[in-house]
Amino acid sequence: MHKLEQIYEGKAKKVYKTDDPELYIVDYKDDATAFNGLKKGTIAGKGIINNQMSNRLMQMIERKGVPTHFVKELSERETLVKKVSIVPLEVIVRNIAAGSFSKRYGVDEGMVFDEPVIEFSYKNDALGDPLLNTDHALALKVATRTEIDTIKTYALQVNSILKAFWAECGVTLVDFKLEFGKTSDGSIILADEISPDTCRLWDSATGEKLDKDRFRRDLGGVEEAYAEIMKRLVDHEEK
Smaller CB separation from ligand TMP, 98 or 162: 98
For 104-217, list the strands marked E by DSSP.
112-122, 131-132, 171-182, 188-191, 199-203
- Smallest gap from residue 5 Cβ to ligand TMP (A): 27
- Smallest gap from residue 76 Cβ to ligand TMP (A): 22
Smaller CB separation from ligand TMP, 25 or 92: 92
- Smallest gap from residue 192 Cβ to ligand TMP (A): 9
Torsion, Cα 23 24 25 28, to 10 degrees, reads -140
Smaller CB separation from ligand TMP, 124 or 157: 124
End-to-end CA distance of the chain: 33
In the complex, which residue's CB is closest to ligand TMP? 99
In the DSSP assignment, the letter for residue 212 is T
Smaller CB separation from ligand TMP, 42 or 100: 100
- Smallest gap from residue 100 Cβ to ligand TMP (A): 3
Positions touching ligand TMP (CB under 6 A) are 92, 98-101, 175-177, 198-200
The percent of the chain in helix, strand and coil, each rounded to the nearest 5, is 35, 35, 35
Residue 114 backbone phi and psi in degrees, to 5: -70, -35
Distance CA 171, CA 82 (A): 30
- Smallest gap from residue 105 Cβ to ligand TMP (A): 11
Smaller CB separation from ligand TMP, 13 or 177: 177
